[in-house]
Each structure stands twice: as C-alpha cells, then as structure tokens.
C-alpha cells in the first residue's frame, strides 16, 4: 500500500499544552483552531508526512485576561506571528505501535526540530463508513529557545512561568477519498 492523504478531524482532536506556574503547579491550555494533512500508509507509518498549522490567536486557558496576555508581544505575539507550523522530517518505529516522529516546529518566527513520542491508536470506520486513524503524541520544548522569554521573578525566589512547555496531541484523522 502507498501513502494516501488523511485530514485531521478538529471535532475529535485536540492540541493541548501545559506550563509551570509559580513553580508549584501547571496551567493547561489548548489551541482551538488547527488543521493538518497527513500522508500515510497505515501499514508503514515510518513513511508518514505531516503538514500542520495552528492559529496562535486561538489559544485558550479558560481565563480571558491571561489568554490576551499570551497573545501579546510578551509571549506569542500573535499579531506578528499568527501561525504555528509543524512539518515532519522523519518517523522511526520505537516499539509496538510507538514512534519517534520528528519535524520542524515554527513558533514565534523561530524554527527548531522537535520530536513527538507518538502512539498509533489504530484504525476504524465511523458510522458513515469513513476510515479513521488515531494518534496520541507528547513532546516538550524550552520556550526560551523560540524567543518566548517573558518572565517575572518571585519574591521568594524562582519565576512565575516555567520554561518547559509540555505538548500533548490527541489526533483523529479521516482518510480523504
């Protein structure tokens, strides 16, 4: 079988992140608007190709004031960098249904490689007969490597916002006929 295109179903997928707050807890958020096309052969996922984009303005942490700050020049600078992009460069089998999926992430005008630890959840058909594929992926980045350096020191030592951003993707894609 050769690669065919699949489109991410945004109604059954999510792009999530978390970051340390006050060095004692984690704040979680999502990007509500994203799209991706996957080129894949379900029998050989090492050939997968992904082109994805995320609307930086769609960030949501369920707190509007914080979300506006995250869109501002202090963080994402979404007016200048409205799109976060990802494109695969390689995929390596790393166990049963487990892969190391590497690609270039462009965030805040900076492009760097990132590796997602990815589990292929499987294939199934929906009630309308469309073939679907599921994936769960995790990764982390150091936000300062992408120019996201805003922070404030705490009176008791430490900083308000952690540098490590954990990323978690729940992806369901539909085979394009």
* pLDDT at position 1: 63
Closest among 52, 50, 11 to 32, alpha carbons compared: 11
* pLDDT at position 157: 86
State the first-to-last Cα distance of the chain, in angstroms, to the nearest integer.
15
Question: Sign of the C-alpha dihedral, residues 81, 160, 29, 165?
Answer: positive
Radius of gyration of the chain (CA): 17
Q: What CA dihedral angle connects 57, 145, 66 and 153, to 10 degrees? A: -160
The token pair that represents 85 in the structure block: 């992009």
Domain extent at residue 127: 4-175
Query: Count H helices, E strands: the chain?
Result: 1, 11
* pLDDT at position 169: 98
Cβ 171 vs Cβ 13: under 8 Å: yes
* pLDDT at position 5: 97
What pTM did the predictor assign? Answer: 0.94
CATH classification at residue 160? 2.40.128.110
CA distances from 64 to 16, 32, 59, 67, 145 (A): 17, 14, 10, 5, 26
Low-confidence ranges of the chain (pLDDT < 50): none
* pLDDT at position 2: 86
What is the C-alpha separation between 115 and 14, in angstroms, rounded?
18
If one counts the domains in the chain, the total is: 1
Cβ 78 vs Cβ 56: under 8 Å: yes
The residues that bridge with 29 in the sheet, in sequence order, are: 17
Residue in this structure with the two tokens 């929906």, named with its chain if needed: 126
Which DSSP string corresponds to 33-44?
-EEEEEEE-TT-
The residues, any chain, with a CB within 8 Å of residue 77's CB and separated by 6 or more, are 71, 108
What are 47-81's pLDDT values in tens digits?
999 999 999 999 999 999 999 999 999 999 999 99
* pLDDT at position 110: 98
* pLDDT at position 177: 67
């Amino acid at each position: 079988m050769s690669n065919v295109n699949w489109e991410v179903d945004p109604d059954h997928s999510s792009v999530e992140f978390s970051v340390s707050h006050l060095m004692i807890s984690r704040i979680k958020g999502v990007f509500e608007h994203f799209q991706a096309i996957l080129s894949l052969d379900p029998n050989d996922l090492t050939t997968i190709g992904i082109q994805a984009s995320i609307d930086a303005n769609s960030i949501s942490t369920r707190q509007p004031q914080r979300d506006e700050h995250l869109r501002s020049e202090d963080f994402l600078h979404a007016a200048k960098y409205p799109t976060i992009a990802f494109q695969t460069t390689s995929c390596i089998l790393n166990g049963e249904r487990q892969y190391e999926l590497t690609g270039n992430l462009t965030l805040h005008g900076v492009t760097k490689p990132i590796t997602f630890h990815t589990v292929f959840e499987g294939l199934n058909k929906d009630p309308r007969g469309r073939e679907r594929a599921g994936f769960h992926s995790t990764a982390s980045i150091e936000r300062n490597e992408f120019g996201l350096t805003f922070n404030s020191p705490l009176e008791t030592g430490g900083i308000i916002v952690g540098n490590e951003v954990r990323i978690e993707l729940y992806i369901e894609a539909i085979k394009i006929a």
